[in-house]
């Protein structure tokens, strides 16, 4: 599947983002030119003893995804019941 994705042209260049964590810590950033994926994950399950969800924003290349390499982490935080985060996405110029 990754080989098929690599044959397709990118529809946009880098992603830009503004991320504000539940504690109001703000981060503005962008993915690297070669990165094709930007992922926001929220994991919340009954085994977390503090009751908080784990939130992360990370990016990677198709090659790194195929090789199961670590993702490039942009932000991580905990999110408790009643709290929120803010993520605003943008893109840089198309290739």
In tens, the pLDDT along 41-95 reads 999 988 878 889 999 999 999 999 999 999 999 999 999 999 999 999 998 866 5
> CA torsion sign, 63 to 66 to 72 to 74?
positive
Helix (H, G, I), strand (E, B) or coil at 93: coil
Residue 26 contacts residue 74 (beta carbons within 8 Å):
no
pLDDT above 80: residue 38: yes
pLDDT above 80: residue 33: yes
* Predicted structure pTM score: 0.83
**pLDDT of amino acid 7:** 85
């Amino acid at each position: 599947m990754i080989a098929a994705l690599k044959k397709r042209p990118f529809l946009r260049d880098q992603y830009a983002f503004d991320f504000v964590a539940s504690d109001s810590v703000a981060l503005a950033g962008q993915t690297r030119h070669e990165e094709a994926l930007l992922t926001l994950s929220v994991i919340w399950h009954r085994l977390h003893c503090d009751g908080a969800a784990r939130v992360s924003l990370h990016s990677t290349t198709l090659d790194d995804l195929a090789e199961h390499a670590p993702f490039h982490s942009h932000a991580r935080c905990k999110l408790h019941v009643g709290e929120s985060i803010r993520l605003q996405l943008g893109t840089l110029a198309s290739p």
